[in-house]
Amino acid sequence: MEKFNPKQYATQDLEKQIKYLNLLAARFPNIQSASTEIINLEAILNLPKGTEHFLSDIHGEYETFSHVLANASGVVVRKIDEVFGKTLRKKEKTALATLIYYPKEKLELIIKKEDDINEWYAITLQRLSKVARGAASKYTRSKVRKAMPSDFAYIIDELLNESGEGKEDYFEGIINSIINIDRAEAFIVALCEFIQRLLVDRLHIIGDIFDRGPHPEKVMDRLISYHAVDIQWGNHDIVWMGAAAGNLALIANVIRISLRYNNLDTLEDAYGINMLPLARFAMDQYKNDACDLYDVKGEARHADIKLLKQMQKAISIIQFKMEGQTVTRNPHFKMNDRLVFDNVDFKNGTTVIDGKKHDLLDKDFPTVDPKSPYELSNEEKEVMDKLKSSFVNSQRLQKHIDFLFTRGSMYLTHNSNLLYHGCIPMDKKGNFEKFEIEGKTHSGKLLCDHFDRVARKGYFQRKSKGEENTSLDYMWYLWCGPLSPLFGKMKMATFERYYIADKETHTEGRNPYYTLAFKEEKYCNKILEEFDLDPEISHIVNGHVPVKVKKGESPIKANGKLFVIDGGMSIPYQSVTGVSGYTLIFNSYGLVLVEHKEFSSMAHAIYEEKDIISDRIFIEGNATRKYVEDTDVGKELNIQISDLKLLLAAFRKGLIKEKR
């Protein structure tokens, strides 16, 4: 560390910064306090960097997500191995890990079956204390104290700092007292949660929390309570974000997907969206229509199937209309191919795509006026008005979406990694594609920045009265536009998949990014430089694209420069991918890519102690271990240290008076 020399700070330079230094002196009023803080910050720089945990494409699969979060992609098990080595049997280590994952649920079972619960408490508390001590070893005591549950902070602090001769009886006395006053159960829960918190310093979610799976609302509740998390928006997040802001096209998309995957419980029970107006409308308009094209995935009661299909068709037609209106008022979107009714011959039941005529699989369009095909009927307007009111007035949904805006963004650069969900749109030559937002053209990083800005503008102006909130149209474009960094495809072929048998029309096509950046390191380097990162030491962490392991695909792209961590957490994808997801760990020794192969259920994990089957398939070691000084936090701390050294110089030159 560079030695402080007050002579290096010229008096005239200090005088220019005197206003700022006076403000800093309010926190550090004398040489002693400023010196102490410098010593503290410089010590922190020499600690190992904290562990970062990367997850993507959760798609409402709360049980799998919750387990991966609890076991930190194997970090808990490895810490137990590190602490106990061969002094515990594998069965005992597994039991201890399960307790740390699910302390409340596991304790309930153990209390029922243990003959001598006090003995079990004593042994378990000793073991948990050792694991907690190992987890806390890379942090300052101040940071560890802040992570402690307030009810047990003093006791945990004492147990963590076991040292000195003759203190064995003291610590045994603490544990015995906890048991004797009937606080062992609560203390074990607190200690397990404390361990989980310490083992992961920061959680990164690389998009797609919503859709397909049954409980995105539980995932969101868990994320809101997490100690340190950031989110990079996915296309399945932005569709909910725009729907919560009142965009009718996105409301229709959210409802259609929920109906298709039989997730009405998420809409009705979790978020209080009143689906009765749509159900009544669908039963009235399509009472004699079997709606066989509108399959429902997942289990549903036989009596519900027909209604779900009718509702899905009704909202799909509304979706096509609202999207047609969006495309028409935004010609710069260049999405005329999504004016799906333009080439439909309603009389003969045909359409023309790319110059080729196709028969429609369903020719019944009772709510479509061929002369004005994108205009909602009066009944459809009434339904959408009621649905919009439900979305914008759902307190729980608004709380979750507000969190996505507060903690989320289009991308993140953090500790030399670039995190985003979809892609950075490129043309076939590897140039960044340009797109117009509010009259100005942008590409690369600026395109992502302006999409981020306009999405926030759309959401936070959702309740403004007066002129129409056209910013929400850009949120729809982010969901399905060909140059959307979140979508990454040439089109969303929803209409074709429902209505046309020819599967060639179903092809959506990927942006050239996926051919270029996934294969050649030079394109990854170009992207990293665009985002002001050093290609020599930086990586891209991508989600969005299921890795088809069954077909030999790898999540490691471009010679290890890019990682794809959407491996298929969503159950509908697993038959295609062959795995239950990929996650990434970035600790002080480097990057670790983890492949998850099997997770039956949370119940199996608790009752039978069946952990998720995970393999560390890639480990990138650093030549030297990374410390806090090597991180983004380290850069900030060095700036603070420099400012404090300026303050010391100002004190010593008499420019600022010390306060005692």
Among 132, 25, 80, 62, smallest CA distance to 599 is for 62
Q: How far apart are CA 142 and CA 158, in angstroms?
A: 14
What are phi and psi for residue 357, nearest 5 degrees?
Answer: -85, 140
Q: How far apart are CA 429 and CA 431, in angstroms?
A: 6
Q: What is the mean pLDDT of residues 621-641?
A: 89
pLDDT of residue 577: 67
Q: Check pLDDT > 70 for residue 465.
A: no
Q: Judge contact between 225 and 199, C-beta under 8 A.
A: no
How far apart, in Å, are the Cα atoms of 430 and each of 367, 413, 427, 515?
Answer: 45, 21, 5, 10
Kindly list the strands in the beta sheet with 582-587, ordered across the sheet, starting from the edge strand earlier in the chain.
408-409, 229-232, 202-205, 52-55, 582-587, 590-598, 613-621
| First-to-final CA distance of the chain | 29
Q: Judge contact between 34 and 644, C-beta under 8 A.
A: yes
Q: Check pLDDT > 80 for residue 45.
A: yes
Highest mean pLDDT among 15-19, 112-116, 396-400: 396-400
Question: For 288-320, what is the HEC assignment?
Answer: CCCCCCCCCCCCCCHHHHHHHHHHHHHHHHHHH
Q: Judge contact between 538 and 569, C-beta under 8 A.
A: no
Residue 112 has, within 13 A of its CA and on its CB side, a CA count of 7
pLDDT of residue 104: 93
**Residue 182 binned pLDDT confidence (cut-offs 50, 70, 90):** confident
Q: Judge contact between 421 and 486, C-beta under 8 A.
A: yes
**Residue 372 binned pLDDT confidence (cut-offs 50, 70, 90):** very high
3-class DSSP assignment, residue 60: coil
Q: Check pLDDT > 60 for residue 68.
A: yes
pLDDT of residue 3: 57
Q: Check pLDDT > 60 for residue 90.
A: yes
Radius of gyration in angstroms for the set of CA atoms belonging to the chain, rounded to a whole number: 29
Q: Judge contact between 282 and 316, C-beta under 8 A.
A: no
Q: How far apart are CA 73 and CA 567, in angstroms?
A: 14
598 bridge partner residues: 613
Which H or E run contains 229? strand 229-232
How far apart, in Å, are the Cα atoms of 464 and each of 135, 200, 459, 468?
Answer: 49, 40, 10, 9
pLDDT of residue 572: 66
pLDDT of residue 575: 65
- Using the CB atoms, write b or e for 345-382: b if 16+ within 10 Å: ebeebebebeeeebebeeebbebbeeeebbebbeebee
**Residue 170 binned pLDDT confidence (cut-offs 50, 70, 90):** confident
pLDDT of residue 51: 93
* Pairing label, strands 344-345, 229-232: unpaired
Q: How far apart are CA 251 and CA 385, in angstroms?
A: 11
Q: Check pLDDT > 60 for residue 503.
A: yes
What are the residues whose beta carbons fall under 8 Å from the beta carbon of 69, sequence distance 6 or more?
A: 53, 55, 203, 222, 226
Name the residue with tokens 């259920």.
601
Q: How far apart are CA 563 and CA 584, in angstroms?
A: 9
Q: What is the mean pLDDT of residues 400-429?
A: 97
pLDDT of residue 9: 53
Q: How far apart are CA 238 and CA 416, in angstroms?
A: 26
Q: Structure tokens of 521?
A: 């390191």
Complete DSSP assignment for 480-548: H-TT-TTT-BS---HHHHHH---GGGG---B-THHHHTTT-HHHHHHHHHHTT--TTT-EEEE-SS---
Complete DSSP assignment for 597-633: EE---HHHHHHS----EEEEEEEEE-SS--BGGGSHH
pLDDT: which is higher, 152 or 373: 373
Q: What is the mean pLDDT of residues 67-81?
A: 92
Q: Judge contact between 239 and 449, C-beta under 8 A.
A: no
Q: pLDDT tens digit string along 467-494?
A: 567 889 999 999 999 999 999 999 999 9
Burial grade of 422 (CB within 10 A; 0-12, 13-18, 19 or more):
buried
Mean pLDDT of all residues belonging to the chain: 90
Q: Check pLDDT > 90 for residue 391.
A: yes
Q: pLDDT tens digit string along 229-247?
A: 999 999 999 999 999 999 9
3-class DSSP assignment, residue 200: coil
Among 52, 27, 20, 51, smallest CA distance to 41 is for 27
Q: Check pLDDT > 80 for residue 522.
A: yes
Q: Judge contact between 420 and 485, C-beta under 8 A.
A: yes
Q: Check pLDDT > 80 for residue 150.
A: yes
Q: How far apart are CA 576 and CA 549, in angstroms?
A: 8
**Residue 601 binned pLDDT confidence (cut-offs 50, 70, 90):** confident
Question: For 248-295, what is the HEC assignment?
Answer: HHHHHHHHHHHHHCCCHHHHHHHCCCCCHHHHHHHHHHCCCCCCCCCC
pLDDT of residue 342: 94
pLDDT of residue 450: 97
**Residue 165 binned pLDDT confidence (cut-offs 50, 70, 90):** low
Q: What percent of the chain has pLDDT over 90?
A: 69
pLDDT of residue 175: 85
Among 568, 556, 538, smallest CA distance to 593 is for 556
The pTM of the full predicted model, rounded to 2 decimals, is 0.92
What are phi and psi for residue 366, nearest 5 degrees?
Answer: -65, -20
**Residue 625 binned pLDDT confidence (cut-offs 50, 70, 90):** confident
Lowest mean pLDDT among 31-40, 147-156, 321-330, 631-640: 147-156
Q: What is the mean pLDDT of residues 580-588?
A: 89
Q: How far apart are CA 210 and CA 255, in angstroms?
A: 12
Q: What is the mean pLDDT of residues 391-413?
A: 97
**Residue 171 binned pLDDT confidence (cut-offs 50, 70, 90):** confident
Q: What is the mean pLDDT of residues 62-89?
A: 92
